[in-house]
Chains A and B, each alone.
Chain A
């Protein structure tokens, strides 16, 4: 195969990423030369994301490797419908984040660095785009670090605020250690198999003898690195601190987009590298894991730990942002339990869950942002009696929280239904039960907010003037949250089309 032809040919499928890169550079340079205008940067980044979206749709969605190394017929990068689905989620949450940022008081007050904010958001998005479809340990590591490095700065973006700078420092120390552990695992895996491409690693593991213990250690280290991104249990300690300290727009995008990217690469890595394809009929049955270690057992334990720890810690939080942080840990635990099954049904449940989680979680963060910008506080006690002073916002928040709990007729119910149904169908009854019990626990802390807002006398002199923008954005998040609760067929169909990972 002609190498040059291959690289240049690959570029035809690489337009979305190129568009994001250009968005990043344009934002960086525009900020240098036109500092005055206030709305130029967000508008430019929105245009950039829309163009990226356009290219994502128009790029021929054929599955295949990009940037082949020539020797073996595998590449550094891949396009398939699985990556496309996650890219859509990431892009949507980026667009919402930019919209939130236009309205956010926190971001608008720190005028001196606004350019970096939007530029870094674009590079953050680029990193996640790359992460969802990397197939080589080198590109995985680079994309992973690109996401991490941008998010470290974004978390500490309002650097005059002490808690923001502190969140940023904690984030980078945890993140650097996690990525150090991950890269050590990668080096062991490279030493074991002699290649960095995950498809070739699978080929090696399926056909050669290897030391199981070494593989398990390497695999656990790599999963730990990805687990840091999705805030999986033993690696979740950064989550509450960073979510509380970071500007709330960043908290929103961290809780959805970077988790989506983390899940995408976790699923891709485990499915491609450790599944025995010779023994599996991928369409029908459970995947057979390569002999030596049952990865789903350890994942089941981690999933239970994640959801339980998240929910229990959320019970006694007084800061709403921190509570939502713990709740997002719990949601990561639910989604991880879908992966434990190790078959297409579980992946389907995760994909559905993510699309719904995008709307409900972003919605909750958006309303909290609007209220706390006016109220100057995220303390749940300060929300007392707001229900009658700002009915629109509080009713919306209630709907999002109900959906996060998973009560019908909201979309959150459908997400949990598919997840637990998949678990029960495949014999993981105990895990489904743990999930249900956890959902019941989560009802308590979500409803505490609602109770505070509606069932108590007001103490604050709060007044909210609702602007058109607030209403429009809230509705754009509310409608999917409610509609997907009753009419979810298109979402399921889209997710069913997207479960195929290229290759086998």
Chain B
């Protein structure tokens, strides 16, 4: 597998423009970052150095723990979100498969969704979606 690496190394040539573009972009953005302090006038005072010149003083840190309820919602979201992944290949192939297999292929997806529905009923009934 890995001797391919050496053989195909000439492939890198195709990427030279891309690498150049990335390099130029990096250098240019670094330059811009520095440029404003290089060329601009600098007269700092206490008021100017605060976080938001005309905003409120920050009261406490913004990095706080937030409620565990978000995690629960996130968890449930992930599960049901991922199941959609299985609908896509089915939907894309539906026309071909239906010709071959007829109604069976649709019934099969209904079974799948029914299983998900049982899960959904379960978590509704358990009160997993209630916020308090």
Contact = CB atoms under 8 A, between A and B. Distances in A.
| Chains A and B share a contact (CB less than 8 Å) | yes
B125 A32 contact: yes
Interface in B76-132: 100-102, 104, 115, 118, 121-122, 125-126
A211 B122 contact: no
A28 B1 contact: no
15 contacts: A3-B100, A3-B101, A4-B100, A4-B101, A25-B115, A25-B118, A28-B118, A28-B122, A29-B121, A29-B122, A32-B121, A32-B122, A32-B125, A32-B126, A211-B1
A152 to B, nearest CB: 14
Contacts of B1: 211, 214
A250 B105 CA distance: 39
B104 A29 contact: no
A29 B102 contact: no
Contacts of B122: 28-29, 32
Contacts of B104: 4, 7-8
Nearest to B118: A25
Nearest to B105: A4
Contacts of A7: 104
B15 to A, nearest CB: 24
Interface in A1-31: 3-4, 7-8, 25, 28-29
Interface in B1-46: 1
A388 B24 CA distance: 86
Interface residues of A, number: 10
Contacts of A4: 100-102, 104
Contacts of B125: 32
Contacts of A8: 104
Interface of B is mostly: helix
Interface of B: 1, 100-102, 104, 115, 118, 121-122, 125-126
A70 B122 CA distance: 37
A25 B122 CA distance: 10
Contacts of A211: 1
Given A3-B101, A25-B115, A28-B118, 18 more contacts: A3-B100, A4-B100, A4-B101, A4-B102, A4-B104, A7-B104, A8-B104, A25-B118, A28-B122, A29-B118, A29-B121, A29-B122, A32-B121, A32-B122, A32-B125, A32-B126, A211-B1, A214-B1
Nearest to B97: A3
Nearest to A4: B101
Shortest 10 CB-CB contacts between residues of A and residues of B: A32-B125, A4-B101, A4-B104, A25-B118, A28-B122, A32-B122, A3-B100, A3-B101, A28-B118, A29-B118
B18 to A, nearest CB: 27
A8 B122 CA distance: 29
A28 B126 CA distance: 11
A198 B122 CA distance: 37
A272 to B, nearest CB: 25
Interface in A413-428: none
Contacts of B101: 3-4
Nearest to A192: B1
Contacts of B118: 25, 28-29
B1 to A, nearest CB: 7
A360 to B, nearest CB: 38
A7 B102 CA distance: 13
Nearest to A32: B125
Contacts of A214: 1
B40 to A, nearest CB: 51
A3 B104 CA distance: 11
A167 to B, nearest CB: 21
Nearest to A214: B1
Contacts of A3: 100-101
Contacts of B126: 32
A211 B2 CA distance: 11
A28 B125 CA distance: 11
A298 B121 CA distance: 49
Nearest to B102: A4
Contacts of A32: 121-122, 125-126
A51 B104 CA distance: 27
A211 B104 CA distance: 43
A25 B114 CA distance: 11
A29 B117 CA distance: 12
A438 B126 CA distance: 50
A8 B107 CA distance: 12
Contacts of B115: 25
A25 B111 CA distance: 13
Contacts of A25: 115, 118
Nearest to A213: B1
Interface in A99-141: none
A7 B100 CA distance: 13
A28 B117 CA distance: 12
A414 B115 CA distance: 46
A325 B108 CA distance: 43
B86 to A, nearest CB: 12
